[in-house]
Amino acid sequence: MSNEKRKLESWELAECAALKDLIKQENASRPKEKRITQEAAGAALGMNQASFSNYLNGRLALNKDVAVGVHKIFGIPPDRYSKRLAQEIAEVARAYGDTDYQKNDLYAQASAGHRLAVDDMASRMLGMTEEQALKLKQAMDLLMPSDDPRKD
C-alpha cells in the first residue's frame, strides 16, 4: 500500500481555495481577538492545525464533515464554496428528517457569533478550578426554577 496522497482534481482544488478565501474574509471582518486560528478550527474539528491547513491548501479534498464543521465554526455555508457538498449535506438532512431535537436545538439555531461566544465561554469554563465551577453551578441554580426540566 502506497503512502502517496492522490492529486486533487482541479474542481477540488477550486473548492479548497474558495473556502480558504472565505475563511480569510470572515476572519478579517472580526476584531483581532475574535479571529479563529487554524489551530482552534482544527481542534474544533477534531484534528490538528496541519490537517486543517491541508484542506485549505488543497492537499486533502473537502468532505461533508469538514463542511459542517466549518459552518458551525465560521458560519460559512457550504454552498458558498461547494455546491457538491451543500447537495450531499442536504440529502443527508432529508434522509434524517426534522427531528424534535433539531427543532429545539437552540445552539444550532443561534447565529454564528452567538455560537462562537458560547464555545468561547465553554472553553474558558473547562479551565475553571473546582471551586469556580461550584460557584457557577450555585449561580445557575439561583437563576433557574427548581421545577425546570432543563436544570439537570
Whether residues 18 and 62 fall in one domain: yes
Whether residues 118 and 46 fall in one domain: no
Domain enclosing residue 8, as ranges: 1-97
Whether residues 49 and 17 fall in one domain: yes
- Type of residue found at 69: G
Whether residues 27 and 60 fall in one domain: yes
- Count CA atoms within 13 Å of residue 94 on its CB side: 6
pLDDT at 114: 72
Cell of 89: 449535506
pLDDT at 5: 77
As to burial, measured by CB atoms within 10 angstroms (0-12 exposed, 13-18 middle, 19+ buried), residue 141 is exposed
Residue 11 within any structural domain of the chain: yes
Q: Which mean pLDDT values do the consecutive 10-residue runs of the chain (152 residues) have?
A: 79 98 96 93 93 97 95 93 94 72 60 71 66 66 59 46
Whether residues 70 and 108 fall in one domain: no
Whether residues 78 and 135 fall in one domain: no
pLDDT at 117: 72
Cell of 15: 473548492
Q: Count the domains in the chain.
A: 2
Whether residues 13 and 80 fall in one domain: yes
Residue 151 within any structural domain of the chain: no
Please, what sign has the CA dihedral across residues 47, 127, 112, 38? negative
Whether residues 47 and 120 fall in one domain: no
Whether residues 43 and 69 fall in one domain: yes
pLDDT at 112: 73
Cβ(40)–Cβ(27) below 8 Å: no
- Sorted by sequence, the CB contacts under 8 Å of residue 72 that are 6+ apart come out as 44, 115
